[in-house]
Amino acid sequence: MKKLLKFGAYTVGVLVVLLAVVAGAVFATSNEKIGKNYVVAVKPVRIPGDAAALARGQHIAQTRGCIDCHGRDFAGAKVIEDDAMGRLDGPNITMGGGGRVAMFEDVDWVRAIRHGVGPDGRGLFIMPSEEYAHLSDEDLGALIAFLKTVPAVTRERPATQLGPVSRVLLTLGKIKLAAESIDHLHLKPASVIPGVTVEYGRYVAAGCTGCHGANYSGGKIEVGPPSWPEAANLTAHADSRLATWSEADFIRALRTAKRPDGTELNPVMPRTFGQMDDVELKALYAFFKSLPPAAKGVR
Ligand code: HEC
Ligand code: HEC
């Protein structure tokens, strides 16, 4: 009996040490991924100053998700606060105190938005630059021009805390930094003409891939906390609601966050996309209609 107890204690001891080693490795690997340095060659874009370009830039800033993470005043907002995932806030991107863009040169803006890399070379965490990498030079220039005119607001950013699940997902490569996924050397910014076309829809829909997946089949959102619902299937598969919606249904759903059956969309689906103009929403609908059907979550 004594022997058995001794053996039991020994096994528990070994397990504790093993767990500590795994936890240590996860901690070290996730820190390494977050702290990794990226050297990218940044191609400058023209930053325009005319009123039409500023209005275009404002429209992009307000409809592509920036305000969901950086706040309506662009001075920062909470993105995730969850025991498992940790605490993460979008930083202040106004010229006010608490942010660092007041020191940005134009290429720093391009590096951050298009490449997902900060001026210090660190990959930006959760900032979905893979969705913005293909913004056309004109749209990116207009966006930066507008952001530089946003009134300065001073707001400190709460410290980032990586929760245990975030660390494991980072270690396993389930959460990737945008800087890791973007092919920095072969980036081809789009050259697009706004219009109700599948092509323009594809361009706008790049901003939906972070949650709905690269093939828009929806399913589990890896970067989200466990409380987030699955993203909807946006392809024409039989399990997709969108497959049966008319263009008017789709536009109404985005604008009002209500489905044709009256049910409300979970707030994880960003309301800001509903501020897109008719051309963008119609182009999105045309694009989704053109997609090959894929079962929900089969990415
Ligand atoms: C899903 C949330 C999210 C969205 C959407 C988002 N950002 Fe970010 N952004 C972040 C986070 C978080 C950081 C900070 C990352 C870090 O420090 O590792 C960041 C960093 C930045 C930075 C660098 C700021 C600095 O201090 O280094 C800029 C510039 C920026 N974002 C602009 C934008 C613009 C413009 C858009 C819209 C086109 C946008 N972001 C959309 C979350 C987001
Ligand atoms: C931050 C994550 C996120 C992003 C980004 C996102 N979505 Fe969603 N979306 C969701 C989630 C989650 C749902 C499911 C909501 C629910 O279950 O109530 C959803 C639901 C939808 C629905 C409702 C479909 C249905 O079957 O009920 C449509 C339409 C939709 N999204 C379109 C878009 C479009 C278009 C974009 C890009 C412009 C986009 N989404 C970007 C998370 C996102």
Q: How large is the C-alpha radius of gyration of the chain?
A: 22
Distances in whole angstroms, Cα of residue 260 to Cα of each of 165, 246, 255, 280: 36, 10, 12, 20
pLDDT of residue 1: 60
pLDDT of residue 23: 87
In short, whether 282's Cβ falls inside 6 Å of ligand 1 is: no
CB atoms within 10 A of CB 221: 16
* Separation CA 289–CA 244 (nearest Å): 10
Q: Which of 118, 103, 105 is nearest to 39 (CA)?
A: 118
In short, whether 69's Cβ falls inside 6 Å of ligand 1 is: yes
Are the C-beta atoms of 194 and 286 separated by less than 8 Å? no
Ligand 2 pocket test, pick from 269, 281, 287 with the greatest ligand atom count within 8 Å of Cβ, gives 269
CB atoms within 10 A of CB 212: 23
Side-chain-facing half-sphere of 285: CA atoms under 13 Å: 22
* Separation CA 251–CA 254 (nearest Å): 5
In short, whether 273's Cβ falls inside 6 Å of ligand 2 is: yes
| 91 Cα to the center of ligand 1, angstroms | 7
30-84 pLDDT tens trace: 988 888 999 999 999 999 999 999 999 999 999 999 999 999 999 999 999 988 8
* Separation CA 87–CA 72 (nearest Å): 19
Segments of the chain scoring below 70 in pLDDT: 1-2, 4-5
CA torsion sign for 96, 77, 127, 141 is negative
Are the C-beta atoms of 51 and 45 separated by less than 8 Å? no
In short, whether 40's Cβ falls inside 6 Å of ligand 2 is: no
Query: Please, which residues have CB within 8 angstroms of residue 176's CB and are 6 or more apart in sequence?
Result: none
* Separation CA 55–CA 132 (nearest Å): 18
Q: How does 119-144 read in b/e, with b if 16+ C-beta sit within 10 Å? A: eeebbbbbbbbbbbbbbebbbbbbbb
| 76 Cα to the center of ligand 1, angstroms | 9
pLDDT of residue 77: 97
Name the residue with tokens 């950086």.
Answer: 70
Amino acid at the residue 99 = G
In short, whether 175's Cβ falls inside 6 Å of ligand 1 is: no
| 19 Cα to the center of ligand 2, angstroms | 38
* Separation CA 99–CA 156 (nearest Å): 7
| 147 Cα to the center of ligand 2, angstroms | 26
123-149 pLDDT tens trace: 999 999 999 999 999 999 999 999 999
Q: Which of 113, 85, 240 is nearest to 178 (CA)?
A: 113
In short, whether 167's Cβ falls inside 6 Å of ligand 1 is: no
Structure-derived torsion over alpha carbons of residues 128, 93, 268, 201, reported in degrees to the nearest 10: -50
Ligand 1 pocket test, pick from 45, 92, 127 with the greatest ligand atom count within 8 Å of Cβ, gives 127
pLDDT of residue 213: 95
In short, whether 284's Cβ falls inside 6 Å of ligand 2 is: yes
Tell which phi-psi region holds residue 263, choosing left (phi > 0), alpha (psi between -120 and 50) or beta.
beta
Encoding tokens for residue 118?
Answer: 């900060």
